[in-house]
Amino acid sequence: MKQERQFFGTDGIRGCVGKFPITADFVLKLGWAMGQVLQEEIKEASKTILIGKDTRISGYMFESALEAGITSAGVNIALLGPMPTSAVAYLTRTLHAQIGIVISASHNGYNDNGIKFFSSEGYKLPEKWELAIESYLTRPMQTVDAQSLGKAWRIRDAGGRYIEFCKSSIPHHASFENLKLVIDCANGATYHIAPSVFQELGAKVTVIYATPDGLNINENCGSTHPSTIQHHVLKEKADVGIAFDGDGDRVIMVDHLGEILDGDEVLYVIIKGLIEADRLKGGVVGTFMTNKGLEVALQEMGVPFLRVPVGEQYVIEALIKKDWLLGGESSGHIIDRRVTTTDDGIIAALQVLQSMHVTGKSLHELKRGFKKIPQRLVNVKCDNNIDLNQIEIVRALKEAEAKLGKTGRVLLRKSGTEPVIRIMVESDDIALVETLIDSLKIAVESAASHVT
């Protein structure tokens, strides 16, 4: 029987700051537990864990707690400071650390935070490690002898290293000097990275929301609020708008007409550029949320497509298994295994600009050929203890599936990062989409009201 994880979700451990388990004392012990597991699993005498974070104010507290816990287990720490999640994965590999840790709640507000881990190869930790960490969390915390304590230091040039890596992901002869960009850093971890990357590649860059104060991360800006960058692209008469989320692992883009490109469209544009350059290998992995229009467009281009459950870890697992290179989610998580081991907003945006460079076409022109099927997504806030097999939910879901038939899709799932139930309906019949969304929402809200 498969062992259930108590604390780890689809993207590490996440929650509201000050409420268990996102508390200083828990994170202290989490650091110690990680150190204990590392001591068991890795035989090298000297072991190092990298720690990066986004810009939310609680990051200082949790960085200190992790530092104390990890060093108490006799493991060294290298502190990166504010750094995109994907940068931590990259630096964990290139600096030959055994583990990378990111303190972030991604696209959530400042009142949330979380801890996620990367292996030495830059991938998410195997489940067996997560279970081992949880096992240690039930044991008394013990500190090694003073002479065996871990040491901690800061890596001063981490940002510069990652900037150079991002620039190296496109051909050295490529230049974006004819492009005018607006970049929205969401007052998050890309604020001191993304502007330099695009400016050093020649683009004329207008930067917005790059003044984090610990409280304004993702606040009415970034990839979760695309209307903000829409406004600025039109105001600046820019060619492209690029909006990241708080930890920089997702990207949403805007063309010169102010039209938004979600993750599906970003992926489509990257694929078109690779086909033009005759560099596409294998197929593409999406999720159950991926718009049917992308699947149809890829079929027309002769590109295989595979759907997996929502979550970038499932996309990455499928890409590795199939030995394919590209995958992503509608939310803007794009994985390009030619370059990275995880989803990376900056790398994805660079690949889109490279597609524009290779084809000589605008972003608006490149997205043609992808006809999105009308799709509506709503989030119903409720306790994630809700049972989705309750009678009223099952009945509403079956009725929706029956009305859609083979002409549409419906998906209802618990979020792995927020206390919400996500409802998605997709169909060419827009009126039907709205009707079914309403009925499913009512069913979920009714079931939620019964949860004690």
Cα 178 to chain centroid distance, Å, stands at: 30
Same domain, 152 and 184: no
- By C-alpha distance, which of 116, 155, 154, 144 is closest to 35? 144
Quick one: how many helices (H) and strands (E) in the chain?
14, 18
pLDDT band at 86 (very low <50, low <70, confident <90, very high): very high
Same domain, 439 and 339: no
Q: What is the DSSP string of 24-40?
A: HHHHHHHHHHHHHHHHH
pLDDT reading at 1 higher than 60: no
Same domain, 146 and 183: no
Q: Which domain holds residue 442?
A: 375-448
Same domain, 170 and 52: no
Same domain, 135 and 221: no
Within-domain flag for 358: yes
Distance CA 56, CA 110 (A): 5
Within-domain flag for 6: no
Same domain, 185 and 267: yes
Asked which of 14-18, 82-86, 294-298, 414-418 is least confident by mean pLDDT, the reply is: 414-418
Name the active-site residue from 58, 72, 86, 106.
106
Distance CA 20, CA 441 (A): 29
- By C-alpha distance, which of 420, 417, 309, 405 is closest to 436? 405
SS3 102: strand
Integer angstrom CA distances of residue 438 from 14, 89, 298, 391, 405: 29, 40, 31, 17, 18
Asked which of 132-136, 150-154, 420-424 is least confident by mean pLDDT, the reply is: 420-424
Same domain, 114 and 185: no
Integer angstrom CA distances of residue 110 from 15, 303, 342: 11, 40, 23
Mean pLDDT of 22-30: 98
**Higher-pLDDT residue of 339, 172:** 339
Same domain, 317 and 434: no
Domain boundary among 130, 156, 182: 156
Distance CA 175, CA 198 (A): 10
Residue 384: per-residue pLDDT: 64
pLDDT reading at 452 higher than 60: no
**Mean pLDDT value across the chain:** 94
Within-domain flag for 332: yes
Same domain, 141 and 221: no
**Residue 148 appears among annotated catalytic residues:** no
Within-domain flag for 3: no
Same domain, 388 and 243: no
Residue 2: per-residue pLDDT: 58
Same domain, 240 and 381: no
pLDDT tens-digit readout, 390-433:
888 888 899 999 999 888 999 998 887 778 889 999 999 999 99
- By C-alpha distance, which of 190, 313, 178 is closest to 251? 190
Q: What is the CATH number of the domain that holds 132?
A: 3.40.120.10
Domain boundary among 305, 338, 366: 366
Same domain, 188 and 140: no
Tokens coding 432: 């039907």
Q: Is beta strand 251-254 parallel, antiparallel or unpaired with respect to 204-208?
A: unpaired
Within-domain flag for 303: yes
Within-domain flag for 5: no
Mean pLDDT of 157-174: 95
SS3 13: strand
- Total domains present in the chain: 3
pLDDT reading at 380 higher than 70: yes
Residue 389: per-residue pLDDT: 84
Q: Exposed, middle or buried: residue 433 (CB in 10 Å: 0-12, 13-18, 19+)?
A: buried
